Chain A
């Protein structure tokens, strides 16, 4: 059973860079059908796709966040990471990592981690 677990600081100061890591266990991060995504949900609001990375390192980003987002993968550690720069209070959200089967369907999700942007 595939499992994903997010980790990272729960509090980030405005204008700084938010950094999160997702560790994948119970399966191979290099599986050819798996794409690895970050998705966020501001408190009381809906879900928003941030971006996706393939095990080769190829990335795909939400156009609205592209200028501030970097997603990378480390297959040797079976993990992928998110960096979101120049954060503001609007970036306060629960951040989820997920597997997108064939890049389309989020069939496995992490439990989510709340990141608050505040000084």
Chain B
């Protein structure tokens, strides 16, 4: 069970948009609409930002959006703000109540 593939880093200037990809297989990302995204600040617990590919929990700014095409899911952060600088992880359901994490992406706001 290999981790989902995310780019190690991503960056953008304030106000710009950045997209983070999460690539898996037909057994995980491509097979289920249960991809979620988490934001993690150093020393803090992860916070879920997107669930079921594109749904936003209450309290999460609409600058955060999710999508999926085939075996790749994506998280887009629009109108980048300094507070968006954090690590981001994707997670996919893989069946039989198993889940798998991505390797994480460090987002830098330039």
Interface of A with B (CB < 8 Å)? 35, 37, 39, 46-49, 52, 54, 60, 62-64, 96, 100-101, 103-107, 109-112
Contacts and interface: CB of A to CB of B under 8 A. Distances in A.
Contacts of B101: 39, 46-49
A22 to B, nearest CB: 12
A60 B45 CA distance: 22
Interface of B: 1, 3, 34, 36, 38, 40, 45-48, 51-52, 57, 89, 91, 93, 96-104
Contacts of A62: 1, 98
Nearest to B1: A63
A104 B99 contact: yes
Given A46-B3, A47-B89, A106 B46 contact: yes
Contacts of A47: 38, 40, 46, 89, 101, 104
A110 B46 CA distance: 9
Given A46-B3, A46-B89, A107-B51, A60 B46 contact: no
A46 B34 contact: no
A104 B36 contact: yes
Given A106-B48, A106-B91, A60 B1 contact: no
User: Which 7 pairs, one residue from A and one from B, show the smallest C-beta to C-beta distance?
Assistant: A104-B34, A46-B104, A109-B45, A60-B97, A105-B51, A103-B97, A104-B93
Given A46-B89, A47-B89, A110-B45, A52 B97 contact: yes
A107 B1 contact: no
27 contacts: A35-B97, A46-B3, A46-B102, A47-B40, A47-B101, A48-B101, A49-B98, A49-B101, A52-B97, A52-B98, A52-B99, A62-B1, A96-B45, A96-B46, A100-B99, A101-B51, A103-B97, A103-B99, A104-B34, A105-B51, A105-B52, A105-B91, A106-B36, A106-B46, A107-B57, A109-B45, A111-B45
